[in-house]
Amino acid sequence: MSFFLLNSRILMPAGLCTALLCHACSAPAAPPARPQVRILSDSTVQVAAGPQYARSGMHNFFWGRHYRALWALPVTVPVVQLRTAVPGGLTPVQEGGSFQTKNLRLVDRNGVQYVLRSVDKDATKALPEGLQDGPIGRLMKDQTSVINPYGAYIVPRLAQAAGVYHTNPRLVYLADDPGLGEFRQSFANALYLLEERPEGDQSLVASFGNSTRVESSRKVFTNLLASPQFRVDARNYLRARLFDMWLGDWSRREDQWRWASFAAPDGGIRYRPIPRDRDHAFFKFNDGFFTHIIGWVKSNYQTFDEQIRLADVEGLNRAARPMDKSLLVYLSREDFRQIADSLQQQLSPAVIQQALSVWPKEVYGLVGQEFEQKLNGRRNQLPAVADKFYTLLARNVELPGTDRPERFVVDMPAQQQVRVRVYLRHTTRPDSLAGQRTFRTGETSILKLFGLGGNDVFELRALPPAGMTLQLYDGAGQDVMLGTAPPTSTRTTVFDSGDGNTLTLPRTVKVKKYMPAANEFDAAGWLLRHRLY
């Protein structure tokens, strides 16, 4: 939640801003003490997720009402006991979490991993210790109220209907359970989401595709860039990304995903995405004076409204842009249209209503109708959102190879079209097609091809028309660049690192000597684009 560290000078003159900031934070949200719990029975309690977020009218005016009423609402929740949570019980093994969420990893008797994720958050751990209890720290903690504390709880039914893999969080209250052992003091008496941890052998979990191997983004992207035999199911990933937009979940960086792996008929491996951590789904940010202004500046902090902002689909997807550019590079506009139409049909009003019904009755009574209206409104926009998403990605395309030897073939199947085919090179049999796509001058203005590692071959059988810029980057290895096209006017440039490449090109193709940047040289460098160091 680093958006709360935005420099106050963008809001108003420093003196006035400081005065209002100090006033707004002079009576900060109470520290997250143990919540007041009303015991209804041995198996249920009534408790509010965060009563400390209820604030004065003046504070709400400047910093937003957000979901404060929902945080302060007592809800009826089942009590979980670790010895009976799953057959054979659960044993805590490791405390973890991010700067915001407190996690406790657990295992069952078969070694299957689960995780308790705190419903309440605390982003102040990302600050230097001296700032955590000051005005900035208190404001960051207060702005936890932008999150719907029960949002992640309704996602599984929606994801199942959409055909998207998902975790299965259970909203639970963990009392002073002796089974916590050494973690008892830190984790007792609080609300949590209890869910499977998507890692390793998940052959018994249908919502992970019964995959026998679920892997991290770092592992998967390392494999994808090592060899074309590893591929992501791009249409499935697009389905998951459109589902993200429908939920208003803007925080979809690489670490928010795990990947279910499956053997492919050709002997390779195919990955399907498992989105995780829905903390920022249903984000509500623009209902305060200051937060509304911040939302203008930081366009990825978009509020979950009845309408998706078509003019700023780019902002909504900024966190996932490196992944989107790499994983969706071979899909066409028609692919985007088909997936959006399919989602629109699957996420029917009846499905939405059924998913919302899993909320505690108190939560549904407060926001159920509002969410039903918003989800249906956004559902109607899915085709338009998908078309805008495609348009943004198609404008400037970066198509990477791998560290294996490949052959890039560029030709023109029709006027104003450029086709790129990428083949895996073989020595004892014909090259095998790894991927292809046809680009149109009205959609794509810049097309960049990156050989990365391996001794690659680039074949220019035709030169792109004037409406498209083509750039070829050799990367590591000793590459061959051949131009059999006639020397027509073109905006094609070959970037030659001078490491022994062979260039036979039409005279109209520019050749520039360059020193490759780390993130365009080989597979290890390309990982830098994905923040996977």
pLDDT along the chain (533 residues), means of 10: 37 40 49 70 91 94 95 96 95 81 92 94 78 83 94 96 97 96 94 95 96 96 95 98 97 95 94 95 93 87 94 94 97 98 98 96 97 98 98 97 96 95 95 96 96 95 93 92 88 92 93 90 90 75
Given a contact cutoff of 8 angstroms between Cβ atoms, the answer to whether 245 and 238 are in contact is no
Residue type, 503: L
Angle at 375 between CA 370 and CA 376, to 5 degrees: 100
The set of residues, in sequence order, having a beta carbon less than 8 Å from that of 51 and lying 6+ positions away, is 30, 35, 36, 71, 72
**What are 28-37's contacts with CB under 8 Å, separation 24+?**
28/138, 28/139, 28/141, 28/142, 29/53, 29/55, 29/138, 29/141, 29/142, 32/120, 32/122, 32/141, 34/189, 34/190, 35/189, 35/190, 35/191, 37/173, 37/189
Question: What 3-state DSSP class applies to 405?
Answer: coil
pLDDT at 1: 40
Strands (E), 134-227: 170-174, 190-196, 214-216
pLDDT at 75: 96
Residue 357 CB: number of other CB atoms within 10 A?
Answer: 12
pLDDT at 4: 39
pLDDT at 32: 52
pLDDT at 98: 61
Strand-pair partners of 503: 481
Residue type, 329: V
- Four-residue CA torsion sign, 59, 61, 67, 68: positive
pTM reported for the whole predicted model: 0.92
pLDDT at 173: 96
pLDDT at 19: 44
Residue located via tokens 């995959």? 211
